[in-house]
Structure 1
């Protein structure tokens, strides 16, 4: 199984919306990818909680059956559209994939 974790730090404003609005939009778009390819076992999206120290605004934690499932997810049109939006609103991005 492959665990895929991505974190985004968002711009204060982008695409005509605030950081908070874009965090909610990104969460919605990510959750819309939950079942786009076979082999996604788990997909969870978290937003930084106000009052708790955070250096990033949005986190994705997802599990895939294998690398082939993760690869299929990466190139799916819904994920490609998500990447376009994320690229426009993000200040920074970090990612780690590892075997569980």
Structure 2
């Protein structure tokens, strides 16, 4: 199994909206990617929550049966459609894939 974790820090303002509005929109768009490929075992998008420590604004936690499933997700049209928006609103990105 491959775990795929991505964290994004968003710009204070981008695409005519503030950080929180863009985080909510990003979550909405990413949530549409849940279950889009066979072999996707888990897919969770969450936003930083008031009162809890967070150095990033949006986190994606996902699990894939194998690297082939992760690769299929990466090139799926639904996922590819989210990428330009994320690129426009993000300030920084961290990612880690690992096998368990």
Shared fold (TM-score, shorter chain, > 0.5): yes
Match of 1:44 in 2: 44
Number of residues paired by the alignment? 100
Match of 2:14 in 1: 14
Structure 1 Cα separation of the partners of residues 63 and 4 of structure 2 = 6
2:80 equivalent to 1:86: no
Measure how far apart 1:53 and its partner are: 2.4
* Structure 2 unpaired stretches of 5+: none
Structure 1 Cα separation of the partners of residues 52 and 41 of structure 2 = 29
* Structure 1 unpaired stretches of 5+: none
Structure 2 Cα separation of the partners of residues 51 and 12 of structure 1 = 19
Structure 1 Cα separation of the partners of residues 73 and 25 of structure 2 = 19
TM-score by length of 1: 0.96
Structure 2 Cα separation of the partners of residues 11 and 61 of structure 1 = 21
Structure 2 Cα separation of the partners of residues 68 and 53 of structure 1 = 34
Structure 2 Cα separation of the partners of residues 77 and 61 of structure 1 = 20
Structure 2 Cα separation of the partners of residues 59 and 17 of structure 1 = 19
Structure 2 Cα separation of the partners of residues 72 and 53 of structure 1 = 33
Match of 1:29 in 2: 29
Deviating beyond 4 angstroms after TM superposition, the runs of 4 or more aligned structure 1 residues are none
Secondary structure at the counterpart of residue 3 of structure 1: strand
